[in-house]
Chains A and B, each alone.
Chain A
Amino acid sequence: MTPKLEIRGATKAFGSLIAVSDVSMTVQSGELRAVIGPNGAGKTTYFNLITGFFPPTSGEILLDGQNINRVPAAGRVKLGMGRTFQITEIFPELTVRENARIAVETGQGYSLRFWLNAGDRKRIDDACDEVLEMARLTAKADRLVGELSHGDQRAAEIAMALALKPSLLLLDEPTAGMGDEETYQVTGLIRRLHRDSKYTIVLIEHDMRVVFHLADRISVLAEGKLLAEGTPEQIAANEVVQNAYLGKAE
């Protein structure tokens, strides 16, 4: 079976600085893959390569077996790569439902319409209800997103990504800057999306606790290189990883 996402020897150099060096990774459909590494390991650059913020210096990025090296970020969204950002990107002064609705309307090609017939309206409403339900935000649908807790804002951002009906979800440090309770809430959401809704997910994270209970497989980056790859158990037992990463105080 063609893997959902495949990275072959991706390298990114900024002048003489090599931020990501010859990293490969294969993500199967339905898999939840975590990419971890200490700060400065090249995680963000690697994520940007996948989302299309810039093209790789060498190597290949394949989505469903198609090379997408030259497809820019917005085009990759259209190909089914939904994403969230490290700093939550939402429409703060609109309600949760309006946030979801804008995403639904854009995703389904309604955004240039000046009026909707009853059928269209129902289709959009249903799609909004569905993603809000998935993100467990139905009860807060009429609140302004900017007034919600950090965890709920992240959930709203994920709901917007889901509204585009992605086949692959890319999450950039989804629990960054959150307390325990919110981290728990967001990881619960990610787990449900993975187990119940069968989304393929790639997430970048430096909080190790989040990753070990969530991921099917983990890729460890250090100094721009792929240090190890395996199941959480294998990674936990890997001495090289322990020395390079776990040994250091996070």
Chain B
Amino acid sequence: MNALLRHKYATTAIIWALLLTVPAWLPVFGGYTALAGRVLVFGLAAMSFNLLLGFTGIMSFGHAAYFGLGAYGCGLFLKYVSASTPLAMLAGTLLGGIAGTLFGLLLVRRRGVYFAMVTIAFGQVCFYIAYKWDDFTGGYDGLRGFARAALDFGAFKIDIANNSTAFYFFILAVFGGAAVLQALLLKSPFGRSMLAIRENERRARFLGLPIEKHIWLSFSISCFFTALAGSLYALLNNFADPLGLNYIMSGNIVMITVMGGMRAFWGPLIGAVLFVALQDYVSSMTTNWMFFVGLTFVCVVLFFPRGLMGMFQKGART
């Protein structure tokens, strides 16, 4: 156990050390800082999704909806309301989180494949709205015409709008805050009740746990975090894309999680590294990127179902 704990602390320390020094070492490998920002955003989305898949044992296949709503909420706020980056992020997080909370009410009694199907359908509803509501959301072309604004603390400003390193550290700060909150959540009694539902729903019910309420809450929390990641995504691109709401995006979030390892806290972040690297590499190499991405999905499912982190963990089963 102590060895296991040491192992966990060591992993966490290494990950933070690497993240904090990205601007120093990434260019050496030919990467650029915005790429690392994308890793953090997808990593946060997948870690938030994994609160459901890996830690509550519930399978949503529509998380792009909350990611995308986060992006649109943030972009729309910047475009139509006020050029305040923090408030825009709050708006995006609330939009996606509240939508998820409401959808969650219709979901909690469903399980397994059926739960997944309904989440897909809800996701498509959001995609469809963003796609059709041209004048407001930009429709097919996506939402443009907004830009992240520098952070103004009165006494000093942080120019995240133009300074890419400053913006990276801004994303890292938000990511870090969210990751700490998620870690605390998983260590709380509520977090343990999520694990109990994952492990054995029937047993948990017979302990007197109100399963539906807990699944709903866990779904809602997951959606708020996912929407936060989405709002960062809008800031990253200064653009909100209707395809970000599509079920293909949902599939990518699931894939990132599984590829990295859904039973490990940092698994989805590792998955995001692999995914962003793969996407960047394959799409620059061949026009048949769908074939190779699809092949990767199939291979991961068949040969590496526990993901990269899972291969180094003992005990956990698929």
Taking beta carbons and an 8 Å cutoff, which residues of A are in contact with B?
Answer: 73-74, 77-78, 83, 85, 89-95, 98, 101-103, 105-107, 110-116, 142, 144, 147, 160, 164
Contact = CB atoms under 8 A, between A and B. Distances in A.
A78 B184 contact: no
Contacts of A147: 315
20 contacts: A77-B207, A77-B208, A78-B208, A89-B202, A89-B206, A93-B199, A93-B315, A94-B199, A101-B192, A102-B204, A106-B208, A106-B209, A107-B207, A107-B208, A112-B189, A112-B213, A113-B190, A114-B190, A142-B1, A160-B203
A114 B193 contact: no
Contacts of B188: 113-116
A102 B192 contact: yes
A77 B203 contact: no
Contacts of B7: none
A102 B317 CA distance: 21
Contacts of B214: 111-112
B195 A77 contact: no
Interface residues of B, number: 26
Contacts of A106: 193, 196, 204, 207-209
Given A91-B195, A111-B190, A160 B316 contact: no
Given A112-B190, A113-B190, A115-B188, A102 B208 contact: no
Contacts of B1: 95, 142
Interface of B: 1, 184-185, 188-190, 192-193, 195-196, 199-200, 202-209, 213-214, 217, 315-317
A114 B183 CA distance: 11
Contacts of B316: 93
Contacts of B208: 74, 77-78, 106-107, 164
Contact of A92 (B184, B185, B200): B200
Contacts of A102: 192-193, 195-196, 204, 207
Nearest to A97: B1
Closest 8 pairs (CB-CB, A-B): A91-B199, A89-B203, A105-B189, A142-B1, A110-B189, A111-B193, A106-B207, A114-B188
Contact of B200 (A77, A91, A101, A114): A91
A167 B317 CA distance: 36
A85 B200 CA distance: 13
Contacts of A115: 184, 188
A94 B184 contact: no
A179 to B, nearest CB: 24
A110 B193 CA distance: 10
A102 to B, nearest CB: 5
A223 to B, nearest CB: 29
Contacts of A92: 199-200
Contacts of A91: 195-196, 199-200, 203-204
Contacts of B200: 89-92
B109 to A, nearest CB: 15
Contact of A164 (B184, B207, B213): B207
Contacts of B204: 91, 102, 106
B317 A93 contact: yes
B3 to A, nearest CB: 11
A110 B207 CA distance: 12
Contacts of A112: 189-190, 193, 213-214, 217
Contacts of A116: 188-189
Contact of A94 (B190, B195, B205, B206): B195
A115 to B, nearest CB: 6
A115 B192 CA distance: 12
Contacts of B184: 114-115
Contacts of B190: 111-114
Contacts of A105: 189, 192-193
Give the one of B184, B196, B206 with max A CB within 10 A: B206
Contact of A90 (B185, B203, B205, B317): B203
A153 to B, nearest CB: 12
Nearest to B213: A112
B110 to A, nearest CB: 20
Contacts of A160: 203, 207
Contacts of A114: 184-185, 188-190
A95 B315 CA distance: 11
B205 A111 contact: no
A106 B190 CA distance: 9
A116 B208 CA distance: 20
Nearest to A101: B192
A147 B188 CA distance: 24
Nearest to B188: A114
A110 B189 CA distance: 6
Contacts of B315: 93, 144, 147
A95 B190 CA distance: 17
A103 B254 CA distance: 31
Contacts of A103: 207
A9 B203 CA distance: 30
